[in-house]
């Protein structure tokens, strides 16, 4: 959740560290800080809030030094203020940390008893003092770091630097990712390869339990017992995407508008349009042989998986168990010999999703992952990956990654249906053609922006919103509510429309907008009945439907958004667009920080 950087360089590193932190700001933006060593002294600048505040601080009070570490924080222990901002110091030790030290309270008590004073409320400061205490016992810097690491429980990526050694940073990984970058007479550490992309594409990823001694001219990696280990150096395909909104106000707006292109690229990867087949590819499991697919993911990725469940079960008759990963990892789900597991993650680093994957690994199930970042930990630990070709997604609210995940899931469902003998070649051809039309219809849906923007002005005045849908529109209702609350801070709930009368109907009054996603499908009439129930109680209905649905809805609405008439299989992909735009424009009217909403982070590498 936090982003960390370290550079053992040739030129002053503070500006370079800030540059790398900009690429990591998606991981958290509660505070930021940089420390360097110059002329034998540790120097530090920290600032509450976004990175821009740190940059201003550094303009006023620059830092010299060709070795340094930096951090952008998503607060876990201690409020987001300057005192709790990293780097943390203990005598000659400077440290930045991503993760949670679970035994920090116990360690802190022992350190206080030994006379160490704590300046912050963070768990990280414990690590700085632990290393210091080991130094005070007479260990050298490398041995002291190793001894401290052995005392830590929890998840961490760390960079440690010592006053007195201007040629060494120690990195350690147990859980959250950490990459070492190889330069010309310079070395780098970063939470991901993208952070290091302006400096180098030559990357070595540390594995769990690894710690590394990084010097200008060398890299040594050890396991937790202190044995030397070898890790492959590879060429990262990470792009130095930073960071251009083009003519858009926000990344989220840009990413919404990129969807026709990226969904098209993603579909082309999985579908052979010329021959009308879903490509077999190198799936790590045989759809014809498995009898159950376990799916786990978080947030929007989970909701993509929930849509996928409808598709796999409907088209391929393949039963799907789907959980939010934070539940999956602890509920001890039995996996039969014929089960396979599928994980979905934009970042490929989400801690709960990764833990669920590891649970399935232990259970012996073959593992596939739908990921947007191909070098991520989830990608590396899977037996096979299904990439989404969304490109880097910068906005914290997921948009294009979601529709690309849907594109992959729909393509896989068609493939599974064919492999399991539930559709013939003619039906497969039809489904592939229908999927190929998704980008065209997404483009048409984007043209609804002016109407949706107008409606969003009204929505920005309300305190609560209900979203309703049936079938694949139920996960879309959940996604619409998630999108609205995360960027506009308006309370929103998504429900299966049929559940309305089992509780939420009590909320309906004249103040309550109810957004109903109801294209004219086989259960359209059922949803119309639910709308009648809302209308009878004075609720304000905003109907998202197609032309046939609009003509036949027979219910008074506050507004009706008419989405193109589309084949059933691409309906969720196309209907996602009005959900995203409604949330986006509402947030713009509310004046919130659309791309970096409060309290959130793009990549959630803690439990």
Residues annotated catalytic, as ranges: 2, 602
Choosing from 301, 370, 416, 550, the residue that interacts with ligand M6R (CB under 6 A) is 301
Q: How far is the CB of 396 from ligand M6R (least distance, A)?
A: 5
Q: How far is the CB of 303 from ligand M6R (least distance, A)?
A: 8
Measured from the CB atom, the residue of 221 and 295 that comes closer to ligand M6R is 295
The answer to whether the CB of 260 falls within 8 A of the CB of 184 is no
Which residues touch 506 (CB under 8 Å, ≥6 apart)?
none
Q: How far is the CB of 346 from ligand M6R (least distance, A)?
A: 3
Q: How far is the CB of 604 from ligand M6R (least distance, A)?
A: 5
Q: How far is the CB of 200 from ligand M6R (least distance, A)?
A: 24
Measured from the CB atom, the residue of 276 and 384 that comes closer to ligand M6R is 384
Q: What DSSP designation does 66 have?
A: S
Longest dimension (CA), the chain: 82
Measured from the CB atom, the residue of 93 and 157 that comes closer to ligand M6R is 157
Distance CA 569, CA 549 (A): 17
Q: For residues 549-588, which are near ligand M6R according to CB under 6 A?
A: none
Q: For residues 467-496, which are near ligand M6R according to CB under 6 A?
A: 486
Measured from the CB atom, the residue of 47 and 601 that comes closer to ligand M6R is 601
Please name every residue paired with 158 in a beta bridge, in sequence order, or none if there are none. 97, 172
Choosing from 299, 305, 308, 368, the residue that interacts with ligand M6R (CB under 6 A) is 299
Measured from the CB atom, the residue of 6 and 305 that comes closer to ligand M6R is 305
Measured from the CB atom, the residue of 211 and 467 that comes closer to ligand M6R is 467
Stretch of residues binding ligand M6R (CB under 6 A), selected from 103-111, 288-296, 310-318, 342-350: 342-350
What are phi and psi for residue 602, nearest 5 degrees? -70, -35
Q: Which two tokens stand for residue 481?
A: 């509510």
Q: How far is the CB of 137 from ligand M6R (least distance, A)?
A: 41
Torsion of CA 3, 352, 581, 72, to 10 degrees: -10
Stretch of residues binding ligand M6R (CB under 6 A), selected from 48-56, 131-139, 200-208, 343-351: 343-351
What are phi and psi for residue 255, nearest 5 degrees? -70, -35
Per DSSP, the three-state class of 63 is coil
The answer to whether the CB of 33 falls within 8 A of the CB of 54 is yes
Neighbours of 570 (CB within 10 A): 25
Choosing from 206, 500, 569, 604, the residue that interacts with ligand M6R (CB under 6 A) is 604
Q: What DSSP designation does 237 have?
A: -
Site membership for ligand M6R, residue 347 (CB under 6 A): yes
Q: How far is the CB of 63 from ligand M6R (least distance, A)?
A: 33
Distance CA 83, CA 121 (A): 8
Q: Which two tokens stand for residue 69?
A: 């570490």
The answer to whether the CB of 442 falls within 8 A of the CB of 450 is no
**Nearest-CA neighbor of 87 among 102, 98, 103, 77?**
98
Measured from the CB atom, the residue of 16 and 517 that comes closer to ligand M6R is 517
Q: How far is CA 66 from CA 11, 161, 172, in A?
A: 5, 12, 21
φ/ψ bin of 60: left (φ > 0), alpha (ψ from -120 to 50), beta (otherwise): alpha
Measured from the CB atom, the residue of 486 and 521 that comes closer to ligand M6R is 486
Neighbours of 532 (CB within 10 A): 14
Binding track, positions 353-382, relative to ligand M6R; x by CB under 6 A: x-----------------------------
Site membership for ligand M6R, residue 55 (CB under 6 A): no
Stretch of residues binding ligand M6R (CB under 6 A), selected from 25-33, 287-295, 458-466, 599-607: 599-607
Choosing from 31, 124, 259, 350, the residue that interacts with ligand M6R (CB under 6 A) is 350
Choosing from 31, 72, 266, 346, the residue that interacts with ligand M6R (CB under 6 A) is 346
Helix (H) or strand (E) holding 171: strand 165-174
Binding track, positions 381-420, relative to ligand M6R; x by CB under 6 A: ---------------xxx----------------------
Distance CA 432, CA 214 (A): 50
Measured from the CB atom, the residue of 376 and 530 that comes closer to ligand M6R is 376
What are phi and psi for residue 420, nearest 5 degrees? -90, 0
- CA-CA-CA-CA torsion sign (599, 604, 606, 607): positive
Q: CA neighbours within 13 Å on the CB side: how many for 449?
A: 11
With CB atoms as reference, the residue minimizing the distance to ligand M6R is: 299
Choosing from 345, 403, 557, 580, the residue that interacts with ligand M6R (CB under 6 A) is 345
Site membership for ligand M6R, residue 324 (CB under 6 A): no
Under the rule (CB under 6 A), what is the footprint of ligand M6R? 298-301, 345-347, 350, 353, 396-398, 486, 600, 603-604
């Amino acid at each position: 959740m936090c982003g960390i950087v370290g550079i053992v360089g040739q030129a002053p590193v503070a500006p370079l560290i800030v540059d790398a932190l900009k690429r990591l700001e998606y991981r958290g933006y509660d505070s930021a800080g940089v420390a360097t060593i110059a002329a034998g002294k540790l120097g530090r600048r920290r600032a509450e809030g976004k990175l821009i505040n740190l940059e201003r601080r550094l303009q006023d009070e620059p830092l010299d030094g060709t070795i340094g570490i930096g951090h952008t924080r998503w607060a876990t222990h201690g409020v987001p203020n300057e005192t709790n901002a990293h780097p943390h110091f203990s005598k000659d030790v400077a440290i930045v940390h991503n993760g949670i030290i679970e035994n920090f309270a116990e360690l802190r008590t022992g350190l206080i008893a030994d006379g160490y004073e704590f300046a912050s409320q963070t768990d990280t400061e414990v690590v700085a003092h632990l290393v210091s205490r080991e130094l005070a016992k007479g260990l050298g810097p490398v041995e002291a770091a190793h001894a401290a690491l052995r005392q830590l429980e929890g998840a961490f990526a760390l960079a440690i630097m010592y006053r007195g050694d201007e040629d060494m940073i120690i990195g350690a990984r147990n859980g959250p990712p950490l990459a070492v970058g190889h330069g010309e007479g310079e070395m780098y550490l970063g939470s991901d390869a993208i952070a290091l992309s302006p400096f180098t594409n030559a990357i070595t990823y540390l594995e769990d339990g690894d710690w590394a001694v990084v010097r200008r001219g060398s890299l040594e990696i050890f396991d937790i017992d202190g044995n030397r280990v070898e890790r492959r150096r590879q060429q990262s395909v990470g792009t130095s995407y930073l960071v251009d909104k083009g003519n858009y106000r926000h990344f989220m707006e840009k990413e919404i508008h990129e969807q026709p292109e990226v969904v098209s690229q993603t579909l082309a990867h999985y579908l052979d349009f010329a021959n009308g087949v879903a490509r077999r590819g190198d799936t790590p499991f045989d759809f014809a042989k498995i009898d159950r697919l376990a799916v786990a993911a978080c947030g929007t990725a989970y909701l993509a998986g929930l849509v996928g469940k409808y598709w796999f079960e409907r088209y391929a008759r393949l039963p799907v168990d789907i959980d939010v990963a934070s539940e999956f990892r602890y509920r001890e789900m039995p996996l039969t010999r014929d089960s396979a597991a599928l994980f979905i993650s934009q970042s490929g680093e989400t801690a709960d999703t990764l833990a669920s994957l590891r649970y399935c690994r232990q259970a012996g199930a073959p593992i596939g992952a739908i990921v947007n970042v191909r070098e991520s930990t989830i990608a590396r630990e899977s037996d096979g990956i299904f990439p989404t070709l969304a490109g880097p997604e910068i906005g914290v609210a997921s948009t294009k990654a979601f529709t690309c995940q849907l594109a992959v899931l729909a393509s896989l469902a068609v493939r599974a249906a064919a492999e399991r003998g539930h559709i013939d070649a003619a039906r497969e051809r039809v489904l592939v053609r229908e999927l190929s039309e998704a980008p065209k219809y997404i483009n048409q849906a984007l043209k609804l922006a002016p109407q949706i923007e107008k409606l969003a002005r009204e929505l920005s005045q309300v305190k609560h919103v209900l979203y309703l849908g049936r079938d694949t529109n139920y996960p879309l209702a959940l996604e619409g509510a998630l999108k609205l609350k995360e960027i506009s801070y308006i309370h929103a709930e998504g429900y299966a429309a049929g559940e309305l009368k089992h509780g939420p109907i009590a909320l309906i009054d004249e103040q309550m907008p109810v957004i109903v996603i109801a294209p004219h499908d086989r259960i359209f009439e059922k949803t119309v009945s639910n709308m009648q129930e809302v209308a009878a109680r004075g609720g304000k209905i905003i109907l998202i439907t197609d032309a046939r649905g609009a003509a036949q809805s027979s219910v008074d609405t506050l507004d009706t958004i008419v989405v193109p008439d589309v084949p059933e299989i691409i309906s969720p992909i196309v209907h996602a667009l009005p959900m995203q735009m409604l949330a986006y424009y509402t947030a713009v009217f509310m004046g919130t920080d659309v791309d970096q909403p409060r309290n959130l982070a793009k990549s959630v590498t803690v439990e």
